[in-house]
Chain A
């Protein structure tokens, strides 16, 4: 009887402790104590209830901007990851030259996004007369580059780091290259794909937000945050900040769920 209680408290406290901390923080925020601690006023750090109100009032506008950001982030993530994976496949096929190519891709990870954003803007000016389209393409390109870098490095590892003799086994069955890919390389690389996505998903949201600062068309959560701060509408800016946090958390949770389902049976033997 006593043992069961200790065991349940162990797993319950993993949730209770942080939840308690979070509630305390919220209370401090709403009551104004947090403002005192951080030396801010209710203008720069409005109370949660006020932020809530603003979100409720401006629902439509927020949704519009949210859609713009999400489209850019997700499309960029999708195409970038796809391209990154493709690059990794080619690199894995010609391992000697591939490794160097992957190093180059990894270098793109280190390039500051802020340097890429204006470059892409200028590039896309040539593509289309429509401002909407141009803006979105520019932002998407930046997100794509960031995702290509992350995915190609991880996918390359997934396609080349095999358990010993796994490739040899396939050879003894005279499997074609395509079969080897489908039955060994692809499943082997799936955990690595998720490793990449765990970084690329928040990364693509951040890239989308940051690129919005520089883009022609004034749309998107990131842009709204900036615009509202510049015009001193702090409460609205905070509303957008909260939305961006919820977006990041929400999408990440979805990713974790998908990962849990896809990799459900892999870790069965652990522990």
Chain B
């Protein structure tokens, strides 16, 4: 009962903070609008409700679509491509972690390079990857895959290596085979860690996809972002894209969390009965 109350309080607090954030936004927007020095206030910080209003605006931006339709079309493409890269990167990262746990040699070879991948700015290399592949879709997928691959690989490996010695001994006592050891113990034990990696990389994959968009024309949220800055549409469209990109990023994080709850019902049960 106490836990239920605590959950409700946490939700309430988060709600208050979110509301507070938007209230501050509106206040700043008012200040900006009232300020004499700023000629076009919507370029600095428009009212939030005006941004939302643009979403519902039925006026057509270009010849065929309204603002929200345009955003939806572009967002779909961006999301789809980053999702593909995300899945591929996760699979490869996961498999690599398994191989690294099975073979000491593989681990010794791969580990320093994994560290190096973390240190170098992959996103910064987006332009070169684009010219490598020549095709914007492939490069979106490749970058999203690389960005996902590192967190998933390192976190999965950490998860596998965190399994206590006693669990290994238990398996030994039951005369389990190596396959059974992995399937029944190591892989399930690593799942929470895998999700930590996924939660980190989901927003990153989306960011990467949007970034690659900006480098080249075509369809995609990033492309739309660049276009909206050039004045072909009202500034509010730009802000709408920003808000929606932010929302998508946060949503991907939340979706991963829900997915984790689905796969690991024991965590939810534990949270419910924690003393």
Q: Which residues of A contact B (CB under 8 A)?
A: 13-14, 17-18, 21-22, 38, 40, 44-45, 96-97, 99-101, 103-104, 107, 109-116, 118-119, 122-123, 125-126, 202, 205-206, 209-210, 213-214, 221-222, 225-226, 229-230, 234, 237-238, 241, 244-245, 248-249, 252
**Contact A44–B207 (Cβ < 8 Å):** no
8 closest pairs, A vs B, by CB? A100-B13, A209-B124, A112-B207, A110-B203, A115-B245, A110-B249, A245-B120, A252-B119
| Chain A proximity mask over B226-252: 1 for CB below 8 Å, otherwise 0 | 000100000000100110011011101
**Contact A122–B43 (Cβ < 8 Å):** yes
14 residue pairs of the A-B complex, CB under 8 angstroms, read A17-B109, A38-B132, A100-B17, A103-B14, A112-B207, A115-B242, A118-B238, A123-B44, A126-B37, A205-B124, A226-B215, A238-B128, A248-B121, A249-B116
Q: Which of A21, A101, A229 contacts B127 (CB 8 A)?
A: A229
Q: Assess whether B38 is interfacial by the CB under 8 Å rule.
A: yes
Across the interface, which residues of A come within 8 angstroms of B109, CB to CB?
17-18, 21
**Contact A114–B128 (Cβ < 8 Å):** no
Which positions 202-219 of chain B face chain A at CB distance < 8 Å?
203, 206-207, 210-211, 214-215
Q: Which of A13, A18, A206 contacts B122 (CB 8 A)?
A: A206
- For residue B141, give the distance in angstroms from its CB to the closest CB of chain A: 16
Q: Assess whether B195 is interfacial by the CB under 8 Å rule.
A: no
Across the interface, which residues of B come within 8 angstroms of A45, CB to CB?
132
**Contact B44–A241 (Cβ < 8 Å):** no
Chain B interface residue number, banded: 35 or more
Chain B residue at smallest Cβ distance from A43: B131
**Contact B118–A241 (Cβ < 8 Å):** no
- Given A18-B113, A100-B17, A103-B14, A221 and B124 touching (CB < 8 A)? yes
**Contact A104–B229 (Cβ < 8 Å):** no
Q: Which residues of B contact A (CB under 8 A)?
A: 9-10, 13-14, 16-18, 21, 37-38, 43-45, 105, 108-113, 116, 118-125, 127-128, 130-132, 203, 206-207, 210-211, 214-215, 222, 225, 229, 238, 241-242, 245-246, 248-250, 252-253
Across the interface, which residues of A come within 8 angstroms of B131, CB to CB?
44, 229, 234
- For residue B145, give the distance in angstroms from its CB to the closest CB of chain A: 15
> Could you tell me the distance between the alpha carbons of A96 and B6 in the complex, rounded to whole angstroms?
10
> Could you tell me the distance between the alpha carbons of A13 and B252 in the complex, rounded to whole angstroms?
41
Across the interface, which residues of B come within 8 angstroms of A107, CB to CB?
250, 253
> Could you tell me the distance between the alpha carbons of A114 and B105 in the complex, rounded to whole angstroms?
39
- Given A111-B249, A114-B210, A234-B131, A101 and B17 touching (CB < 8 A)? yes
> Could you tell me the distance between the alpha carbons of A21 and B113 in the complex, rounded to whole angstroms?
10
- For residue B82, give the distance in angstroms from its CB to the closest CB of chain A: 10
Across the interface, which residues of B come within 8 angstroms of A125, CB to CB?
43-44
Q: Which of A96, A110, A213 contacts B250 (CB 8 A)?
A: A110
**Contact B210–A225 (Cβ < 8 Å):** no
- Given A114-B207, A202-B119, A209-B123, A44 and B229 touching (CB < 8 A)? no
